[in-house]
Structure 1
Amino acid sequence: RTITAQLAISLQNLRLLERTQQDAQRLEEQVRVLNAINEVSNTLNQVRDTRELVKQVTKALVDVLQIDHAGIVLINPDRKTGTVAGEYPDKGATGFTLSAEGALWDRLRNKESIVINDVDNAEGLPEGSREALQATGVKSVMFVPLQDIDGSLLGSVGLDIYRPNFPFTPRMAEVAETITSQVAIGLQNINLFSSTQRYAQQLEIIARFNQSIEATSPAREIYLQALKTLGDMVDADHAAIYLYDEDRDHLRTIALLAEGKQSVDMVSGEVYTLDGILGDVWNKGVTVYIEDTRDEQLDFRVDTNIQALMIAPLKVGNKTIGLISLGAYQSYIYQQTDLAVFRQFVNQIGVAIENAEAYAKSERTALSKTLANEISALIQQQVDLNSILQVTMGELGRALHAKRGRIRLGAQAIEASDGKRPSSNGDHAT
């Protein structure tokens, strides 16, 4: 009995020791995971470059989950394809573009993490997926969706295990999802920081345009500076300014940026009728942005190579006087901040034109008053009606560049032609 009791105590102590060791191992594992998550958080707070963030996060995932490979795919603006943003260890896949459509991607868009243990025998794999995974030596794989705060899919995190009989556990999946959610926030912060910087730079470019244009600037100078500013502000393979011809009811290209060169032709530029996309913008009076003209089956007559296109109405006060178009040969190249700043700059062009017109009008008014005063002074120096009428006719003819004029007083008419004063003997020049 004594021996049996001692043996029972020893076995109990052994079980307690094993349990303590297991608890210690779990605690050590938890500490290791928490440290890894903390390191990822620090990385997200410090890194402002997507490539560097992806590089550090994929390494952290491999280390903390003790897996063999991790990669991150980010969805492209077309929402149909994705690009490998980075991986660890490096397998040469970074920059590779792949399809972002199909059953697996549909599940990711539904906020579902996908775990496939034992790739060789797993059921329900989409056609071609098993072969693709086997070709890279993957035995178990996990895909975790990268989602923004609105729930839209930014991309996915892929986790690979090359060793057989080493499946993903629920605990591993939980850790992977926790880190991935932080990565999504980090990517959004980087995008926001980049967009804010870009927007600030664009506003600075617009400010320089406003400083370079004065009320005395001729229209030609305004249009040239506008084209240059558009090219500096965003990626532009094309930019054009069209003014509306009321008499002929069409748009005429008066300024064009093409092949890196700016030109202004106020008289003989290309003419476009008010139909198609130009007519739509003119009639609706709203700015449009077409991310990919090929998807819209749009034939942009000004330049058929354009894939990304923005068009805005050009207004002076409340009156639309023309349109401005901006385009690139690469689809989906413009961000929403680019569209906002494009709208803002088109408004600034309208203000510049309005100021120039107001200045020109004030100059004409001042000149008219000066001429009126001069003519009034000459009239006051005359002593008879005939002289008064002759001076009036001659001075008005010269001021208005009139070839012929006539003053009627009852049945009597005094005429002057080509702005010349009648002769002193009363005869009229012809």
Structure 2
Amino acid sequence: MPLIGSRTLEAPMAENKEKINELQAVRETRRAQTLTEGEHLSAVVALAKLVGDFGSSLDLDQIFANVAEGIREHVAYDTFAILLLDELGQQLEFRFAVGFPDKVVHNWRFGLGQGIVGTAAQNREVIRVDDVEADSRYISATDIRSELAIPLVVKNRTIGVLDVGRRTKGHFTDGEEQLMRFLARRVANGIENARLYESVRSQSSMLALINEVSRELTSILDSEKLLRRVAELVKRLIDYQVFSVMLWCDEEQILEHTFQLAFDKRFVQKGGFALGQGITGTVAAQRQAIRVPNVHLNPLYRQCGHDVEVRSELCVPLVFEDRLIGVIDLESTEYNAFSEQHEQMLVTLAAYVAVALENARLYERVREDERRLEEDLDTARQLQIGLLPKVAPETEGLEIAFAYEPARQLGGDFYDFMHCKDGKFAVAVGDVAGKGAPAALFGALAMGTLRARVSESDCSPASMLQEMNRHMLQPEIDNRFVAMAFGIFDPEEKTLTLANAGITRPVLVRDHKVVEIAIEGVPLGLLPGSTYDERTLQLQTGDFVIFTSDGITEAQDTHCEEFSQRRMEALLAGSTERSAQQLADELMDASRAFALGTPPELHDDRTVVVLKVR
């Protein structure tokens, strides 16, 4: 609010003898009414009791009201005011007033040297005016004729002015001035003590709040909940009507409106400010707090997306490890609503808020990355399912079945069935080292390579594995290799020729007897120049040949005991009357049930392929 200018009175052209005589008569009358020494002492004691309340209460408004009422018994007045200097010591503002219009109390400010009260504050001297209309320093706020202004001084420092006025001329006497001087000294000391007490209490509240912030805010990872809680915590120490947080966007190079409250209600504001634009942009650019007592006098002020009539503003930067995070901005409908202490408190809080915001931002980034990864994994899973056979193929002389269960969304196990050019039938079961997406991708590479080679070659199992090994070494992917069994079934001869590159040995079930097919080899992609043996089985009607990955036999229970080859063979021994699919499902179910209750990280991909000779 602009300072009130001094009133310029037109100098009288000549002395008005009649008015002078009238004023002298008033003075004589007031001298006759001067307090006796005993009455003066009694008034001093009464006033001392009144101002003694300063030491026992922090409600200055109530104390001022009591003082104003109590002094009226000894010093009659029509207006009473206590004006205090602002934090910069430049303007007097009404702290308590009786008899003044509301617009004067709320809007007027007096600079040092302006008006009678401003002059009293600047010169640190009592000013008693018998007729304000004859004093050029007077600024008319009411219809008083007499005024007494006494500076409030503490430790040689002016903090304000005690001012009383009367509608009659020449009203205040020497004795009343002495009483008011006494009262002013006590009021000044009381105000200073109350301020010190309030400062200590505020610091205590601030420390308690910081402790609460350090414990609470860092555990809130949702940014919306975090900022709402910050608004609630700040409100406990600093009164505001509008609360805003703007966060810095590196990509757009602007401060973006992120969270806003007006009278504790959420509203959405789009857009933002560049560095150096407006109060918030300037705070972000300079990384220093800005406190504006009157936004209408500050050219940086920008009205934001609300209809609140803002009069003062406080904005502080949010900085984490010398990196700009954003700003916290408070706005008030009152002039000079934010003090230096408020600024210090908000700056301190901002350091903790910046850490909490950075934690929340990192969490949201990780959560978004996880969401994208989840989507990517789901897409990859669909692709992998698309690569694996969905139904068992029909082929002469064989009933084919399979069961498959990845340990994660994506698995490293694979299986495939292919028809060869010469009418034979190929079957493959593989197990890539590791689990998850890398294993699935390497498995997809192996399947693609296998299908291409089967369509081009004579399907010899040993040569097929040798060629696969050479091809799988080419990507030079560390710690990735494939264990795989590959077999060719000849429906005319009812023979199965097998080669093995390090996967669990297949088993043959015939007449309730289970026999491991003794054939082994080096996993694909592990050693260059590896060669592989072949073994041909003469099969009979009713025979089963079962291929499994190690996830079946190595499944562990809660005591870390494995399902084992022994348990699998015991289950297979009674399988001659079952279909191929029944046997595959039963084996899968048994392995899964055995591992029930164990942590997911101990699980491995499980694959079963069953060939039953018809």
User: TM class, shorter-chain normalised?
Assistant: 0.5 to 0.7
Equivalent residue number for residue 119 of structure 2? 107
What amino acid is the match of 2:42? R
Greater Rg by CA: 2
Equivalent residue number for residue 257 of structure 2? 253
- Tell whether 2:168 aligns with 1:157: no
Equivalent residue number for residue 317 of structure 1? 321
Q: 1:229 to 1:396 in 2, by over 3 A?
A: farther
Q: 1:224 to 1:108 in 2, by over 3 A?
A: same
* Cα distance in structure 1, aligned partners of 2:435 and 2:55: 81
Equivalent residue number for residue 11 of structure 1? none
Residues 317 and 354, structure 1, Cα contact 8 Å, conserved in 2: no
* Cα distance in structure 1, aligned partners of 2:86 and 2:190: 19
* Cα distance in structure 2, aligned partners of 1:84 and 1:280: 32
Q: Secondary structure at the match of 2:297?
A: coil
Equivalent residue number for residue 82 of structure 2? 73
Q: Secondary structure at the match of 2:187?
A: helix
What amino acid is the match of 1:151? R
* Cα distance in structure 1, aligned partners of 2:104 and 2:176: 27
* Cα distance in structure 1, aligned partners of 2:320 and 2:343: 20
More displaced stretch, 144-153 vs 76-85: 76-85
- Per-residue CA deviation, residues 326-352 of structure 1 (Å, 9 max, x unaligned), is 222332111222212211221111232
Q: 1:43 to 1:226 in 2, by over 3 A?
A: closer
* Cα distance in structure 1, aligned partners of 2:230 and 2:335: 23
Q: TM-score, with normalisation over the residues of structure 2?
A: 0.48
Q: 1:45 to 1:70 in 2, by over 3 A?
A: farther
- Per-residue CA deviation, residues 351-371 of structure 1 (Å, 9 max, x unaligned), is 32455678899999xxxxxxx
- Tell whether 2:68 aligns with 1:58: yes
Residues 308 and 327, structure 1, Cα contact 8 Å, conserved in 2: yes
Q: Secondary structure at the match of 2:310?
A: coil
Q: 1:275 to 1:410 in 2, by over 3 A?
A: farther
Q: 1:226 to 1:38 in 2, by over 3 A?
A: closer
Q: 1:359 to 1:411 in 2, by over 3 A?
A: closer
* Cα distance in structure 1, aligned partners of 2:161 and 2:484: 90
Equivalent residue number for residue 288 of structure 2? 286
Equivalent residue number for residue 15 of structure 1? none
Structure 2, unmatched stretches of 5+, are 1-34, 370-406, 413-428, 446-469, 487-523, 525-614
Equivalent residue number for residue 275 of structure 2? 274
* Cα distance in structure 1, aligned partners of 2:247 and 2:258: 7
Equivalent residue number for residue 150 of structure 2? 144
* Cα distance in structure 2, aligned partners of 1:231 and 1:84: 23
- Tell whether 2:278 aligns with 1:236: no
- Per-residue CA deviation, residues 145-177 of structure 1 (Å, 9 max, x unaligned), is 23454623423321548487x6622x5433321
Equivalent residue number for residue 438 of structure 2? 396
Residues 153 and 185, structure 2, Cα contact 8 Å, conserved in 1: yes
* Cα distance in structure 2, aligned partners of 1:356 and 1:264: 20
Residues 328 and 350, structure 2, Cα contact 8 Å, conserved in 1: yes
Q: Secondary structure at the match of 1:327?
A: strand
Equivalent residue number for residue 168 of structure 1? 173
* Cα distance in structure 2, aligned partners of 1:344 and 1:74: 31
Equivalent residue number for residue 297 of structure 1? 299
Identify the match of residue 332 of structure 1 among 336, 346, 359. Answer: 336
- Tell whether 2:359 aligns with 1:349: no
Structure 1, unmatched stretches of 5+, are 1-24, 365-373, 380-386, 404-408
Shift of 1:286: 1.5
What amino acid is the match of 2:287? G
* Cα distance in structure 2, aligned partners of 1:50 and 1:278: 34
What amino acid is the match of 1:154? G
- Per-residue CA deviation, residues 386-429 of structure 1 (Å, 9 max, x unaligned), is x9996479743769xxx9xxxxx99964499xxxx999889xxx
Shift of 1:71: 1.5
- Per-residue CA deviation, residues 269-295 of structure 1 (Å, 9 max, x unaligned), is 534322323332223222221222111
Residues 312 and 331, structure 2, Cα contact 8 Å, conserved in 1: yes
Question: Which of the two has greater helix per residue?
Answer: 1
* Cα distance in structure 2, aligned partners of 1:69 and 1:278: 45
What amino acid is the match of 2:49? E
- Tell whether 2:52 aligns with 1:42: yes
Q: Secondary structure at the match of 1:48?
A: coil
Q: Secondary structure at the match of 2:295?
A: coil
Q: TM-score, with normalisation over the residues of structure 1?
A: 0.65
Residues 75 and 153, structure 1, Cα contact 8 Å, conserved in 2: yes
- How many correspondences in the alignment? 358
Residues 230 and 236, structure 1, Cα contact 8 Å, conserved in 2: no
